[in-house]
Amino acid sequence: MWIICFLAFILSAIIDNLTATIVLVTILQKLVKERTLKLWYAGMIIVAANAGGAWSPIGDITTTMLWIGEKVSIVALIKYLIIPSLVCMIIPTYVASRYKVFQGEIDPPKNTEKENPYGSLILKIGLISIVFVPAFKIFTGLPPYVGMMLSLAVVATIAEFLNNSLSSMKFDSGHSHHSPIHYALTKIEMPSILFFLGILMAVGALEALGIVFGVGQWMVSTFENVDWVIFGGLDIVVFVLGFLSAAIDNVPLVAASMGMFGEAVDDPLWHGIAYAAGTGGSMIIIGSAAGVVAMGMEKIDFMWYLKKIAFLAFIGYIAGFITFILLRDFVLN
């Protein structure tokens, strides 16, 4: 479980939490056959992937939105959030490792599929091309999606050449007679894309009407004079936003918060929102993109997740948020 969770944490920072969840749940389906154990592992993958995505500008849809919207910079985001995110992953993993369901060893079934000779090469090229995106934005000043589309074009071109090589070698990969790009397009989750498009349009409409800004001002005015131990008024607002992200999904929440507040780039408020929205969504399975895709892949029951995984996500969120406040006020300030 530690290996799976650390992989989810690291991969999500590189290839985003949604993709990392898809990759690891797919691997999980080949390693674990017991239904209950698979559900537990999938739940922990969601928690770890969301924690890993919170500290990277390309690790989560919400951090990417803040990065594109020039609310956070790459260096500051990593500096403020990598340790809180790590705490958010380690605490639930440690607690879960004591559960009886995770005791013992996994005996994976034998793999009878012939390995693709170019598999590791295309994986490395894909990872490098994704990491290239932030560097592309820094050096060119162009929007991140331009770098991502350039990376996609490079990977697609290389994949087509390699596919032709496999065809000439008569390598039976199961898909060698199809274009790898066409095959990949059939795997796109169009319902998820339309889901995010719809909620972002809805939030945009509320922002245009001034409702989002009004709600933000009401929250700030309600809590601005509250001081509780190490938490200030805005800290409490951000903390509450983390719980709201679990209920209404973190993407519209961050889209709304960008219209609520007008703080400068790399203000601690934005780092707090990035952490709260990214990790708070783990408390309910529909609160994050990673949770939604895992729910679809493994048919995870909503109430099962709420009873079994929500507490682990909650203690991780609390521990990471307190770590963020302490680092911000006493170490990095």
For residue range 53-101, list pLDDT tens digits in order.
Answer: 999 888 888 888 888 888 898 889 999 999 999 999 999 999 998 888 8
Query: What are residue 228's phi and psi, to 5 degrees?
Result: -135, 105
Over range 197-204, report the average pLDDT: 75
Task: Grade residue 109 by pLDDT with cuts at 50, 70 and 90.
Answer: low
Q: Is 34 strand, coil or helix?
A: coil
Q: CA torsion 268→283→224→72, rounded to 10°?
A: 20
Measured distance CA(123)–CA(296) in Å, rounded: 24
Task: Grade residue 113 by pLDDT with cuts at 50, 70 and 90.
Answer: low
Instruction: Count the Cβ atoms, other than its own, within 10 Å of residue 140.
Output: 11
Averaged pLDDT score across all residues of the chain: 82
pLDDT in tens, 226-246: 666 566 667 888 888 888 887
Distance of CA 227 to the CA centre of its chain: 31
Please compute, for residue 172, the number of CA atoms within 13 A of its CA located in the half-sphere on the CB side.
2
Q: Which residue has the higher pLDDT, 181 or 240?
A: 240
Give, in degrees to the nearest 5, the angle at Cα 184 between 52 and 108. Answer: 60
328 DSSP assignment:
I
Q: What is the pLDDT of residue 323?
A: 93
Over range 169-176, report the average pLDDT: 51
Q: What is the pLDDT of residue 7?
A: 92
For residue 327 the two structure tokens come to 């680092």
Measured distance CA(173)–CA(196) in Å, rounded: 34
Measured distance CA(156)–CA(154) in Å, rounded: 5
Task: Grade residue 176 by pLDDT with cuts at 50, 70 and 90.
Answer: very low
Q: Range with the lowest mean pLDDT among 43-57, 87-101, 172-186?
A: 172-186
Task: Grade residue 31 by pLDDT with cuts at 50, 70 and 90.
Answer: confident
Burial class (CB in 10 A: 0-12, 13-18, 19+), 191: exposed
User: Do 194 and 212 contact (CB within 8 A), yes or no?
Assistant: no
Which residue bears the tokens 């380690």?
A: 90
Please compute, for residue 235, the number of CA atoms within 13 A of its CA located in the half-sphere on the CB side.
17
SS3 content of the chain, % helix, strand, coil (to 5): 75, 0, 25
Element (H, E) at 220: helix 211-223
Query: What are residue 226's phi and psi, to 5 degrees?
Result: -90, 130
Q: What is the pLDDT of residue 167?
A: 66
Q: Which residue has the higher pLDDT, 17 or 119?
A: 17
For the chain, the structural domain boundaries read: 2-105+187-331, 118-170
Q: Distance between terminal CA atoms of the chain?
A: 35
Measured distance CA(195)–CA(286) in Å, rounded: 12
299: alpha, beta or left? (left if phi > 0; alpha if psi -120 to 50): left
Q: What is the pLDDT of residue 233?
A: 65
Among residues 85, 63, 60, 61, the alpha carbon closest in space to that of 73 is found at 63
Percentage of the chain exceeding pLDDT 90: 22
**Size of the chain, expressed as the number of residues it contains:** 333
Task: Grade residue 49 by pLDDT with cuts at 50, 70 and 90.
Answer: very high
